[in-house]
A = this chain, B = another copy of it.
Amino acid sequence: MNTDAQHPFDAAERAAVYRAIALRRDTRHFKPGQVLPEEQLLRLLQALHQAPSVGLMQPWRVIRISDAALRERMAALVEAERQATALALGERGAEFLRLKVEGLRDCAELLALVLPPDDGTVFGRRTLPREMALCSAGCAVQNLWLAARAENLGLGWVSMVEPAPLADLLRLPAGAQPLGLLCLGPVERFYEAPMLEQQGWRQGRPLAELLMDNHWNEG
């Protein structure tokens, strides 16, 4: 890798970045029984770690779940929340229950994403402290997501989980908050489009509807 920051990205490098962005998918279907080489996992976590953060606060911690019994308890929590979500969805509940919404048991690696107790960083977050910490956590996961895709691995962000019992399982201190579980690993195949679109759950809106000029003018 050319680490010279002043050396321009060429067309092939640019295309690779755009390809990873275009083909990255929120993944729920994993190839079971896989193991990631430690050095590959480290590369991926270094990508996460290279993300920007407001005031350089790095408002995320990653807890690697290597204990199979702990993973199983987390899968049970996600299943409970799946049922609660179905109830909350009302008339679309039955349709929702037919979707595969997580791959906790099959993914090679399970990582818990945690927002740590606030460290009091003021830089860039005097006015929106919590919002900016959460946005930074999102940036970090997106780095991981794109690196995983470039490594031909899938990643799924499972936020369908009740945070309090998950915090208990992770033994989080007061002020820390789980932001979901990241399922990572090899897949049989990559989705051609977002799975929620493929399954007819919902269609994304086109870019043009989400862009405005100078002032809010959404219909």
Contacts and interface: CB of A to CB of B under 8 A. Distances in A.
A66 interface: yes
A35 to B, nearest CB: 16
Contacts of A62: 210-212
A9 B3 contact: no
* Copies of the polypeptide in the assembly: 2
A6 to B, nearest CB: 6
A116 to B, nearest CB: 7
Chain A's interface size range is 35 or more
A46 B17 CA distance: 13
Nearest to A116: B218
A36 interface: no
A150 B67 contact: no
A98 interface: no
A100 interface: no
Nearest to A49: B207
A202 B3 contact: no
Nearest to A85: B126
A28 to B, nearest CB: 11
Contacts of A89: 122-123
Interface in A45-91: 45-47, 49-52, 54-56, 58, 60-67, 70, 81, 84-85, 88-89
Contact of A16 (B16, B149, B202, B207): B16
Nearest to A69: B214
